[in-house]
Amino acid sequence: MVTNTVAIDAMSGDFGPRVIIPSTLQYLQGNPGTRVVFVGKTDAIEPLINRRFAHRVDVVHASEIIGMDEVPSQALRHKKDSSIHVAVDLVKNGLASACLSAGNTGALMGVSKIKLRTIDGVDRPAICGAVPSLESHSYLLDMGANVDCSAEHLLQFAIMASVMARALDGKVSPTVALLNNGEEDTKGNHQVKEASELLAAKECLNYIGFIEGHRIFEAVADIIVCDGFVGNIALKASEGVATYIMDKIRKEIKSDPVTRLLSWFAIPEFRRVSSKVDPRRLNGAVLLGLKGVVVKSHGHADQLAFGYALEYAYRMLSVDIVSQLDQEFQSLV
Amino acid sequence: MVTNTVAIDAMSGDFGPRVIIPSTLQYLQGNPGTRVVFVGKTDAIEPLINRRFAHRVDVVHASEIIGMDEVPSQALRHKKDSSIHVAVDLVKNGLASACLSAGNTGALMGVSKIKLRTIDGVDRPAICGAVPSLESHSYLLDMGANVDCSAEHLLQFAIMASVMARALDGKVSPTVALLNNGEEDTKGNHQVKEASELLAAKECLNYIGFIEGHRIFEAVADIIVCDGFVGNIALKASEGVATYIMDKIRKEIKSDPVTRLLSWFAIPEFRRVSSKVDPRRLNGAVLLGLKGVVVKSHGHADQLAFGYALEYAYRMLSVDIVSQLDQEFQSLV
């Protein structure tokens, strides 16, 4: 296994090679000893690679691209030479140790499940990423892979993320909360109530109970568990309201000569403040539960954001997350 | 029926009478012809009522208060003289035409269902409120009343909100979307996929398909339908991220002398901008589907926000929402 090589789906995301390749090269520059394999259309990729990095970069051709809006099940069957298929194959065949894509999430998950398979004891991999708070972060899963989940699935998500928080952040006993519509025991739908009993009974977990949606960004728990339908909607709603607020503020500032003038003076400072609120720093979510490291970048990721997702992939490799998950689930049998 | 009288649960919300009473009196001052009945502990309410308004205000005593964190089912049974019980009774007995509370949502819904009952054809009332966008708003329901919903329930929610959007905003054929984890037909959990078929087949609805969470605040549909579990979490997550962003911006501004100085000059302008982003203008959600108008204010509502919820109650009365809903559901039988 080549433990420092990440296979990168260069054709993915809203911007493709022209963002992914410079972003990756910048990462390589700052991180000696790392290597990548770009996967995709050779003629689109090779011209963008600076010769300085030639010895740390390989290119593997893939003739097809799965579009962001394609139906995953069909793409899986009919586009077997897609950049996603080929990149995941590199991990499967030991030619890369992780795969990173900003592409179609459903297709990435589908291909990864088929080719890499899930760790024994895990029924379904989940998408797990970090959500910010003022001083820290929490891991939230599932961010959208599994829209219909049983309580048992949520339990497995909690165990997987606990392993991850221990490995990545050195938390001895990371706290786990279930996302719910209230904090009292009586609150919740059937699925969440049942999951709460399972989590409370599991000795390997530090389960602290329910949390409500407004506390997702307060780091009240190291891990927040929900099904993929709810996780997807919670995150996208948050994204939507953040855009709404920033657009509204910009519009109001522009509509008034005094604020327009003040904001002009404050442009460099405003940029600095904005960069601290920047969600790009937390770009990257791992498809947790596979026999291989697969990381998903946001489709809209720019150069900076994509670099963070790549860093996330290397962090997963550095702690050998797959072995740690495997050990945990074998110990529970 | 006294069509201009709203029964107000004066003991409710985080601040109780000291916010609710001045807010209400201010509303009365600006709206001649309106009347209210304050419900709660007489000795807490009466000293706060300015004599000028004495002829437009009644006070009805209720000896108990249902706490925000009390289990609704228990409060329903054991606190029959609560301000919620008494306020809803006034509507039931025709002594008020609407009820407004900032209290325990579950208890308000429970008491209202028992005392007022649901409109024929409606299985479950839903909580419906407006969410902002840059130029407009959408109605979102269910905001949290029904955590386990069938597709048929979601269909009823869509019909109810369509009646409301027609009545309140004069939309001839309001558009309806289902909240989902993707916009393609293949996306969604079982419940949403089934509901999509029901909505598409219903002639009285202008169903436009799925929308994702990040578009909740873009007014892409007049009405956004989801179950109460998802609606609650989407809204609370939005609230959480809004707080996070504003706190983060404040913290970063304070940490730098230049922005601190600029922001000092900009305070009045900043306030003006903030007021435009202010979610308090959309405070107030109606418990739609009851044989009576019951409006819920946010528990954190301050004087300004509570006033908007009161206005919302009067708007519901002005369009006689209950009769309109009743007619619609009878026409569908």
- Is B137 found in the same domain as B239? yes
B260 assigned to some structural domain = no
A269 assigned to some structural domain = no
Chain B residues with CB under 8 Å of A242 CB are: 241-242, 245
> Looking at chain B from residue 224 to 253, which residues have their Cβ under 8 Å from any Cβ of chain A?
226, 228-230, 232-249, 251-253
The β-bridge relationship of strands A293-296 and A285-288 is antiparallel
- Is B140 found in the same domain as B90? no
What would the pLDDT profile of A143-196 be if each residue is shown by its tens digit?
999 999 999 999 999 999 999 999 999 999 999 999 999 888 888 999 999 999
Chain B residues with CB under 8 Å of A272 CB are: 252, 256, 259
Chain B residues with CB under 8 Å of A188 CB are: 147, 229
- Is A76 found in the same domain as A194? no
- Provide the number of CB pairs (under 8 Å) joining chain A to chain B: 187
End of a domain among B190, B222, B255?
Answer: B255
* B229-248 mean pLDDT: 88
- Is B92 found in the same domain as B11? yes
Q: Return the pLDDT at B1.
A: 43
A51 assigned to some structural domain = yes
CB burial readout B265-293, b (16+ within 10 A) else e: ebeebbebbeeebebbbbbbbbbbbbbbb
Q: Are B160 and B207 in contact (CB under 8 A)?
A: no
Q: Which CATH number characterizes residue B184's domain?
A: 3.40.718.10
Cα dist. B288→A174, B57, B141, B204 in Å?
42, 26, 9, 18
Query: Residue A288's domain spans which residues?
Result: 1-122+283-333
- From the list A317, A293, A128, the residue with the least C-alpha distance to A223 is A128
B239 assigned to some structural domain = yes
End of a domain among B240, B255, B270?
Answer: B255
- Is B53 found in the same domain as B94? yes
- Is A202 found in the same domain as A85? no
Candidates B71, B191, B244, partner chain A, best to mutate (most A CBs within 10 A): B244
What would the pLDDT profile of A279-323 be if each residue is shown by its tens digit?
677 889 999 999 999 999 999 899 999 999 999 999 999 999 999
Per-residue pLDDT at A46 exceeds 80: yes
- Is A135 found in the same domain as A84? no
Q: Return the pLDDT at A276.
A: 60
Q: Say yes or no: B269 contacts chain A, CB-CB below 8 A.
A: yes
A274 assigned to some structural domain = no
A325 assigned to some structural domain = yes
- Is A132 found in the same domain as A95? no
> Looking at chain A from residue 167 to 186, which residues have their Cβ under 8 Å from any Cβ of chain B?
179-181, 184, 186
End of a domain among B222, B255, B288?
Answer: B255
Candidates B109, B153, B236, B246, partner chain A, best to mutate (most A CBs within 10 A): B236
- Is B240 found in the same domain as B149? yes
Confidence band of B186 (pLDDT split at 50, 70, 90): confident
- Is B135 found in the same domain as B32? no
Nearest residue on chain A to B133, judged by CA atoms?
A244
A276 assigned to some structural domain = no
- Is B62 found in the same domain as B76? yes
Per-residue pLDDT at A257 exceeds 90: no
Number of domains comprising chain A: 2
Q: Return the pLDDT at B48.
A: 95
The residue count of chain A comes to 333
- From the list B145, B161, B154, B138, the residue with the least C-alpha distance to B188 is B154
